[in-house]
Amino acid sequence: MPHDIRKSFVLGGALSLAALSVHAESFNWASTTDPQTMDPHAVNSTPVLSFLNNIYEGLVRRAPDMSIEPSLATSWEPLEDENGWRFNLREGVTFQNGAAFTAADVMFSYERASDEAADTRSWFSPVTDVRIVDDYTIEVLTDSPNPLFPSSIANFMILDSDWATDNDAVLPAKDSENFATLNVNGTGPFTVASRDPGVRTVLTPNADWWDTPTHNITEATFTPIGNAATGLAALLSGDIDFIEPIPLQDVEQVERRDGFRVIEGEETRVIMFGFGHEHDTLLYSNDVTDTNPFTDPRVRLAAAHAIDIASIDRVLFRGKIEAASQLVPAGISGYSEAHQDRPAYDPERARELLAEAGYPDGFSFGLKCTNDRYINDEALCRAAASMFAAVGLDAQLSTGPVRDYWEQLRADDFDMFLLGWSPGTFDMEHPVRFLLHTQDDEAKLGSWNFGNYSNARVDELLPLFLQELDPAARQEMIDELVEITQDEVAYIPLYTQPLIWAVKDNIDVTQRADNFFMLRWVTVN
C-alpha cells in the first residue's frame, strides 16, 4: 500500500509543485521558556517581549542590525519649544479584529503600560505628558531633552483601546488572569490561532498586515522545551525546524549532521565580576576579617590582571566569546573606542599590585556565582577561582540557581559576584543607569549596583550625556565616564557571551543581537 501512495504523489507532483512553493510551509520552533503571558505590558522579559513582537507592534521597531525603523509611526521629530517628541502615525492600519488604529490607541496603551500594574512602566519614567494632536499625530513630553526616547520604546506595544475596554482588560492582570493574558489583538504580522500555556502556541499570518510580508509561513507552532537534550533530539529527528538556544557542547553534534546548521552571533550581554565597594569587611574570608581589601582599586586591578580571557575562551567557550573592556560591547551606541583595551593577563603585575596594597600573600574572599543563568557560568567561576588562586587570591566559590541569587546580592551577601548585563536600550546609558550610578531608590537609579560603586563625577555625567543632542559632545562625556570606571575598576568586564541557534538547512532565520526571534524574517525553502 505505501508504494501506491508514493506513486500517486509522484504523479501528482508536477501539478502540486508550483502550488507548494507558493503555499510555503508550516514552521515549528522551540525555545526553553514559554512566554508566561500574551499581555505586552504585564512582564518586561525577553521571552515575552520577543514572542509578542510577532503579534503586536510599537511606534518604532528594530531592524536586524538593531537600528530603529518606522513601524506604527511613519516618522518622528523632536518638539520645537518643549522637551519631547512628535510621532506621526501610520494611516490605514487595522488591528486583527478589524478596528482602525488611531492616536487614541497609542494614548490608551501609554496609560496602560505606564500604570502601576504594568511591569513596563520604567520605560516611561522620563515622560511627563502625552497629548493627542489629531487622529494620526501624538506628542510625548519628557522632563528633559531625551534624544534616546524613540529607541527606548521599541518594545512598547500598542493595544486596541476598545478591545481592551470591552473585554475588561484595561490594565494588565494583577492577581488573576484577564482577557489579554490569553488573547491577542495586535496590528502585527501574526496572530494567535490557539494557545495552550506551557504546551503549544499556534500562530497564523495576519492577512491584513499593513507591511509586505517577507516570510512564507502559513502556520507557526511554538513549543517550549525546557530540557536541552530533548530539544536537540526534537531538532535532529525533524520534529521541529528551529531551536534556540542550544548548549555549546552540542554545537559539534549538530554541525556534524547533514541537513542542519548552527547560527552563531554575539549577544550584547557582557559578563562581569562586581565588588562590594561599600562593604567594611569581607564576609567569607578566612584571614582578613577586619577590613575589605577590595575597597583599594589596586586590589581590584590585581584581580582583573589575574584573569586570562584567552584561556577561558579556548577551554570553556570553543573560541566563541568576545573579550570585553567596558559594560557594553563594541557596536552599541556610546561604546568608547578610546578605551577598548581591557587589563592584560599579567599575574606578575597582579602580585605586585597586591603587595603594594599590603597583601603580599594575598587573602581569601567569597565569590558568588549563578549556575543556571549564563552560558557555562559555573565553569567560568571555577576557572576564574583557579586563576585568582595563582596570584594569591583565594576565592571561596559558592554557586546556586538564579532564583534566589538576586535576593542574596540585594542583601549584600557577597564579597565578589558574577553578573551579566544586556543593555535594554542598546545604549551605554543603560548599564550606567543601573550598574554604575550610586544607588538611589527614589530616583530609580543604580538599582542593580549591588556593591554600590559610587563616583560623584559618574553620577554627574549620566544626566548630562543623556540630554546631550550633539553626538560628539555626548561621546566625549561617555569616554570620560568609561575612563573613570576603568581606572577605578568598578567592575571587571570579562566577555560578551555568544548566541547559539540551531536550524534545519532549508530554513533561513535572522538573528538579532537582543536574542529576539522574529517570525517575519523566516523563510522555509
Partner 1 sequence: MVFFLAKRLIQSVFVMLAVAFLAFSLFRFVGDPVSQMTGVETSVEDRERLRENLGLNDPFAYQFVRFTSDMLKGDFGFSYRTRQPVAEMIASRMPATLELGVVALLISLVVGIPAGVFTALRPRGYATQAILMITLVGVSIPTFVIGIMLIFFFGVQLGWLPTFGRGGTVNLGGWETSFLTVDGWRALILPALTLGVYQLTLTMRLVRAEMMDVMQSDYIRFATARGVPMGRLYFKHALANTMVPVITIIGLQFGGVIAFSIVTESVFQWPGMGLLFLESIRFVDIPVMGVYLVVIAFFFVLVNLIVDLLYVLIDPRLRISDVS
Residues that bind partner 1 (CB under 8 A): 34, 36-37, 42-45, 116, 119-123, 173-178, 181, 196-200, 223-227, 229-230, 233-234, 236-239, 401, 403-404, 406-407, 424, 434, 441, 444, 447-448
Q: Are 36 and 43 in contact (CB under 8 A)?
A: yes
Give the SS3 label for residue 260: strand
Considering beta carbons, is residue 83 or 253 the nearer one to partner 1?
253
Closest distance to partner 1 from the beta carbon of 175 (Å) = 6
What radius of gyration, in Å, describes the C-alpha atoms of the chain?
25
Closest distance to partner 1 from the beta carbon of 96 (Å) = 22
Query: Dihedral sign, CA of 397, 400, 405, 410?
Result: negative
Question: What whole-number distance in Å separates Cα of residue 283 and Cα of residue 263?
Answer: 43
Question: What whole-number distance in Å separates Cα of residue 457 and Cα of residue 462?
Answer: 9
C-alpha cell recorded at residue 234: 526534537
Considering beta carbons, is residue 193 or 338 the nearer one to partner 1?
193
Q: Distance between alpha carbon 88 and the CA centroid of its chain, in Å? A: 28
Question: What whole-number distance in Å separates Cα of residue 454 and Cα of residue 456?
Answer: 7
Considering beta carbons, is residue 47 or 205 the nearer one to partner 1?
47
Considering beta carbons, is residue 68 or 236 the nearer one to partner 1?
236
Considering beta carbons, is residue 133 or 199 the nearer one to partner 1?
199
Instruction: Identify the helix (H) or strand (E) that includes residue 270.
Output: strand 260-275
Considering beta carbons, is residue 56 or 359 the nearer one to partner 1?
56
Residues of 284-313 as b/e, b for ≥16 C-beta within 10 angstroms? bbeebeeebbbebbbbbbbbbbbbbbeebb
DSSP secondary structure string for all residues of 493-511: EEEEEEEEEEEETTEE---
**Number of C-beta neighbours around residue 77 at 10 A:** 10
Residue 143: partners with Cβ closer than 8 Å, 6 or more residues away: 83, 126, 127, 128
Nearest to 51 by CA among 188, 168, 160, 173: 188
Q: Are 133 and 85 in contact (CB under 8 A)?
A: no
Considering beta carbons, is residue 51 or 365 the nearer one to partner 1?
51
Closest distance to partner 1 from the beta carbon of 342 (Å) = 24
Closest distance to partner 1 from the beta carbon of 406 (Å) = 5
Closest distance to partner 1 from the beta carbon of 259 (Å) = 12
Considering beta carbons, is residue 23 or 403 the nearer one to partner 1?
403
Considering beta carbons, is residue 226 or 358 the nearer one to partner 1?
226
Closest distance to partner 1 from the beta carbon of 47 (Å) = 11
Q: Are 217 and 27 in contact (CB under 8 A)?
A: yes
Closest distance to partner 1 from the beta carbon of 9 (Å) = 19
Closest distance to partner 1 from the beta carbon of 370 (Å) = 12
Closest distance to partner 1 from the beta carbon of 64 (Å) = 23
Closest distance to partner 1 from the beta carbon of 404 (Å) = 4
Q: Distance between alpha carbon 363 and the CA centroid of its chain, in Å? A: 36
Considering beta carbons, is residue 31 or 54 the nearer one to partner 1?
31
Closest distance to partner 1 from the beta carbon of 201 (Å) = 12
C-alpha cell recorded at residue 100: 482602525
Question: What whole-number distance in Å separates Cα of residue 225 and Cα of residue 237?
Answer: 14
DSSP secondary structure string for all residues of 66-113: S-EEESSEEEEEE-SSSSEEEEEEPTT-B-TTSPBP-HHHHHHHHHHH
Considering beta carbons, is residue 209 or 222 the nearer one to partner 1?
222
